[in-house]
Amino acid sequence: MSDLPAAIHIHEEGPREGFQIEPGPISAADKIRLIEALSETGLKSIQVCSFVNQRLVPGWADAEDVVAAFRATPEVAYSALWFNDKGLERALAFHDKLALSGTISLSASEAFNRKNLHRSHAENLDAMRKQTPLHLAKGVPVRRIGVMAAFGCNFQGDIAPAQVVRTVRDGLAVAAECDIAIDRLSLADSMGWATPLRIERVVGAVRSAWPDKEISLHLHDTRGMAVANAMAGLRLGVRRYDSTVGGLGGCPFAGQKGAAGNICTEELVMLCEEMGVATGVDLEKLLEVGRMAETIVGHPLPSELLHGGALAAFRRAAA
């Protein structure tokens, strides 16, 4: 375990990722309640909403109402997601409350790119060439490349590490055209194809090509492998992870109705804390929020830990 990082950074996406896929309707008040409760757990980064097409993602038709009303905690960076100029303009209206940053967002799968963004890879590169300068002109930094379907695709099948490297290289070419430096490469297991071996191969290939870039992982638990994949990432020294409380969410364009969502934040926290990797998160408070999330959505969430409970209470009882 000598290669494990001393600490990790968790980017909580439960509100945004979860409420985009729940059939709902879920009230703005409940969304706000969840965001504010998450803010009290020690999490430092929370993605609160999507500024996206309301017809395609009706769960975030009330994005403006939610962002305007939730009570922000000074120690927490709140972010949002958008995919086009209109979404950016909507986000900019809250520049004083949201930590706005842009992403060169690509997919390693041509088929998923068409399902998710209704563009070919070439068309999406053109869109990024237009969108990135717009971000910069609006004072929004762009320091990250995100690669969806980096470990496999329900529509295209296996994705070779070399394809992921090519996709990152395309993103870096866009960045170079815009004269910006990229700090971080985010690799997303959008449809739950990753295994520990795939994590090792893809992260290894990307890191070999760009050893100076920080890698982050966005893991889905579609096939129950997310914690094992996080462990593989930890052993590789990956220090940044996206997750969702209770395992909220999933991709609405993955073609797999009812699949589990992202890696559960509480399970990631427990994995790390039990191995001496600091997260800064109060696990018992987080479990309370996860149970709140189940009440809000009205059905059980995938997290086993919500029902099994943290070990701290049992340790106290046994002491």
Average pLDDT rounded to a whole number, residues 128-135: 95
pLDDT at 1: 41
Chain Cα centroid distance, residue 298? 23
- Output the average pLDDT for the chain: 93
| Claim: this prediction has a pTM higher than 0.85 | yes
Q: Closest Cα to residue 12, out of 248, 244, 266?
A: 244
Residue type, 293: A
Q: Are strands 142-148 and 184-189 parallel, antiparallel or unpaired?
A: parallel
Q: Could you tell me which residue, 28 or 312, shows the higher pLDDT? A: 28
pLDDT at 106: 95
pLDDT exceeds 50 at position 219:
yes
Average pLDDT rounded to a whole number, residues 263-282: 96
pLDDT at 118: 84
**Token duo for residue 70:** 């939730």
Buried b (16+ CB within 10 A) or exposed e, 196-207: bebbbebbebbb
Answer for the pair 293, 248: CB distance below 8 angstroms, yes or no: yes
pLDDT tens-digit readout, 235-252: 999 999 999 999 998 655
d(CA 169, CA 301): 37
Answer for the pair 83, 105: CB distance below 8 angstroms, yes or no: yes
Residue 257: pLDDT band (50, 70, 90) is: low
Strand partners, 278: 7
pLDDT at 258: 55
Residue 312: pLDDT band (50, 70, 90) is: confident
**Token duo for residue 298:** 């009205």
Q: Closest Cα to residue 102, out of 131, 126, 74, 67?
A: 131
Average pLDDT rounded to a whole number, residues 65-79: 97
pLDDT tens-digit readout, 108-128: 999 998 887 788 999 999 999
- Catalogue the active-site residues: 251
Average pLDDT rounded to a whole number, residues 274-293: 96
Q: Are strands 77-82 and 240-243 parallel, antiparallel or unpaired?
A: unpaired
pLDDT tens-digit readout, 140-156: 999 999 999 999 999 99
Residue 255: pLDDT band (50, 70, 90) is: very low
pLDDT at 177: 96
Beta strand segments in 55-150, E: 77-82, 102-107, 142-148
Helix (H) or strand (E) segment spanning residue 184: strand 184-189
pLDDT exceeds 90 at position 274:
yes
Sheet of 102-107: strand order equals: 77-82, 45-51, 9-12, 240-243, 214-219, 184-189, 142-148, 102-107
pLDDT at 21: 80
Residue 230: pLDDT band (50, 70, 90) is: very high
pLDDT tens-digit readout, 162-199: 999 999 999 999 999 999 999 999 999 998 999 999 99
